[in-house]
Structure 1
Amino acid sequence: MKSSLRSIGDTAARFGLKTNVLRHWEDVGLLKPERDGAGRRRYGDDDLVRIAVILRSKAAGMSLEQIAVLLDDDHGPQRHRVLQEHIAELDRRMEEMRRSRAMTLHAFKCEAHDITRCPHFRAMVTDVLDGSGTWRSMEPSQALP
């Protein structure tokens, strides 16, 4: 069964993307859509799978460089290294989420007027205060006013 080919506009719309995103991913080597006689991009089923993998991987925090290794047939050993590093990063992020959840639940239930004065709440951030905790610093664009 032959896959049906889709235009860049239809493909982008299917995933809620702008067409320039698909063009960029092609520029960096993540996508290689077919071209028709007029040179227009035509996306097949395999391209759609690659786009879905890219979107899911980006949502999980992978960079385009990491995704390129994941999708490249020539990077077997490098792929395992990148995936191991990503698994470690996911584990770290999940631990931070677990801590954040516990802290939020405590804050929700705590009767202290100023939550930062609550000894139990303060104990949850001692690793940050003493510099032993790990956390991802916010990018300037994410900083609060």
Structure 2
Amino acid sequence: MKSNAERPWSVGEVADRFSLPANVLRHWETVGLLAPERDSAGRRRYGRDDAVRVAVILRSKAAGMSLDQIAHLLERDMAGRHRVLQAHIDDLERRMAEMRRSKAMTEHALRCSAHDISTCPRFRAELSDLLVEFPEGQNGSERA
């Protein structure tokens, strides 16, 4: 006889345990991320492996992955998985660099004594990559 821990869970039970609406699990099944077994009445029955897949999906979404990227993560084709994961790592690196820059700018703004932070030369220097198309000393009214 199976213990209670080994019995399959319903969609509602899994949804509750992961604090998700049940329709999210159904959607993930529709897009191919989950494939729970069905009982004789056609009800979804989730096992431990299904719960692991839900946990992988949740962690991957928290890391900024799309459902399409997660599908590649969970597929058996290693070449496709590696390509998608490398692209995601590259995106994470870009976003982390942007977050570090944002943190540095925010910390400077917190300590800066300028009344209008946009007038602070050091703060403006942090924006130079965004202002490359707008050279110093050129005012919009001067071009008219």
Q: For the superposition of Structure 1 and Structure 2, which TM-score range results when normalised by the shorter chain? A: 0.7 to 0.9
The answer for the alignment partner of 1:65 in structure 2 is 68
In the TM superposition, residue 37 of structure 1 has moved relative to its aligned partner by: 1.1
Distance of 2:130 and 2:41 partners within structure 1: 58
Q: Do 1:4 and 1:45's aligned partners in 2 also have CA atoms closer than 8 Å?
A: no
Distance of 1:18 and 1:113 partners within structure 2: 47
Show structure 1 runs of 5+ residues with no match.
Answer: 132-145
- Superposed, 1:92-103 pairs within 5 Å as 92-103=94-105
Counterpart of 1:17 (choices 20, 23, 26) is 20
Partner SS state of residue 105, structure 2: helix
TM-score (norm 1): 0.86
Counterpart of 1:4 (choices 7, 16, 25) is 7
Show structure 2 runs of 5+ residues with no match.
Answer: 134-144
In the TM superposition, residue 4 of structure 1 has moved relative to its aligned partner by: 2.5
* Residue identity in the other structure for 1:4: R
- Superposed, 1:32-51 pairs within 5 Å as 32-51=35-54
Report the number of matched residues: 130
The answer for the alignment partner of 2:123 in structure 1 is 121
In the TM superposition, residue 130 of structure 1 has moved relative to its aligned partner by: 1.8
Distance of 2:127 and 2:14 partners within structure 1: 45
* Residue identity in the other structure for 2:11: I
Distance of 1:20 and 1:130 partners within structure 2: 47
In the TM superposition, residue 76 of structure 1 has moved relative to its aligned partner by: 1.1
Per-residue CA deviations over 1:55-79 (Å, capped at 9, x if unaligned) read 1111111111111011011x21110
**4+ aligned runs moved over 4 Å, structure 1:** none
Partner SS state of residue 59, structure 2: helix
Distance of 1:12 and 1:53 partners within structure 2: 14
The answer for the alignment partner of 1:82 in structure 2 is 84
In the TM superposition, residue 128 of structure 1 has moved relative to its aligned partner by: 1.4
Largest Rg, 1 or 2:
2
Per-residue CA deviations over 1:11-55 (Å, capped at 9, x if unaligned) read 011111111100000000000001111110011111111001101
Identity %: 65
Distance of 1:90 and 1:115 partners within structure 2: 29
